Chains A and B, each alone.
Chain A
Amino acid sequence: MTIQYDEDLVAGWLRRFKWALKRMPSPEREDIVAETRAHLHERMAGGLTAVQALANFGAPEAYAGKFLDEMYLSAAAGSQSWSDNLRAVARFATRSGVAFVAIFVVLMVGSLGLGFLIAGVWKIFDPAHVGMWVGPRDFALGVVDHPEASRELLGNWMYPLCAAAVALAWFICRGVLLWAVRILAPKA
């Protein structure tokens, strides 16, 4: 009765563990689950109850998180891919000051860069309403509804300005992400 109860407890824990590892490639996931199963059974053969053996690993989701952390950081450390780097750093954003700062900077600078990109593309199709505007009481960089009320300062210089701003934002975001991955990854 106790043996069956222990087996059921371990099987249930391993099911949750495997589910929590679902983002990992299948052969790797199966390997990790098999190794954990072997470890638990060996501990139980050595005299621990299932509850004691499982308590040493903690919640299956938290334990799986350690493998996923390593997987994302390893992928990011050897990669130039934006998605690999962003995914790895975002994963730590609520747990690491470095990751939080990096994501904050990427969001701020990235939004600015995106704004300049949209303005530059918009100007191609609607040059009369996009530019750097100075009016009697205000200043605007971007799109205005009534261009006759303001004076446009940049003209076609708006294009290189937008291109430079987008490039600068791209380099800053890229640099910040690589910096964060280098600090977060133990062997980056």
Chain B
Amino acid sequence: MTDKTSPDAGLAAGPEGRKAQLLKGLAELALLSLLKDRAHYGLEILDRLRAEAGLDLAEGTIYPLLHRLERGGLVAAEWRMESEGARPRKYYQLTDAGRAELVSQSAEWRRIATSLTAFLDRSGA
């Protein structure tokens, strides 16, 4: 009865499940941050999050996340053809609601990270 896509799954799923849950939350924040400057397409987002944010995301995790954010109005998407004969790509960009969410999640993440780091450092854990 474990589900790597539901919030109560990590407790029962062991280290892999906990890692998946943690990654899911971090991926959303990193993705919103990545889209802050310009629009990206899915594969580009995945590769940049892996290479630059150090997130070990599975190939099939990024599109359901993008789909949820699009459905929630945090990102907007459009198909673009960059040049004649090129394959069309679906580009995602932040909406105003997405920018507000990024500010909120960033502040929350910094607050938690600061508190948790201080807590873990208290006994050298």
Residue from B8, B9, B59, B64 within 8 A of A70 (CB atoms) = B64
Interface centre among B1, B9, B28, B58 (most CB of A within 10 A): B1
A66 in contact with B6 (CB, 8 Å): no
B122 at the interface (CB under 8 A from A): no
Chain A residue at smallest Cβ distance from B3? A95
Residues of A within 8 A of B88 (CB): 34, 38
The size bracket of the interface on A is: 20 to 34
B6 in contact with A70 (CB, 8 Å): no
A38 in contact with B87 (CB, 8 Å): yes
CA A123 to CA B4, docked complex, whole Å: 49
Min Cβ gap A165→B in Å is: 31
Contact with B along A149-169 (1 / 0, CB 8 A): 000000000000000000000
Min Cβ gap A98→B in Å is: 5
A35-61: which residues lie under 8 A (CB-CB) from chain B? 35-36, 38-39, 41-43, 56-58
Binding site for A on B (CB under 8 A): 1-3, 5-9, 12, 24, 28, 42-43, 58-61, 63-64, 67-68, 71-72, 87-90
Chain B residue at smallest Cβ distance from A98? B8
B68 in contact with A38 (CB, 8 Å): no
Min Cβ gap A91→B in Å is: 10
Given contacts A31-B90, A70-B71, A186-B28, 11 further A-B contacts (CB under 8 A): A32-B63, A35-B90, A41-B87, A42-B43, A57-B59, A70-B68, A96-B1, A96-B2, A97-B8, A183-B6, A186-B24
Residues of B within 8 A of A97 (CB): 1, 8, 12
CA A43 to CA B43, docked complex, whole Å: 9
B58 in contact with A99 (CB, 8 Å): no
Q: When A36-B63, A97-B12 are in contact, do A92 and B42 touch as well, CB less than 8 Å?
A: no
A39 in contact with B43 (CB, 8 Å): yes
Residues of A within 8 A of B43 (CB): 39, 42-43
Residues of B within 8 A of A74 (CB): 68, 71-72
A84 at the interface (CB under 8 A from B): no
A66 in contact with B60 (CB, 8 Å): yes
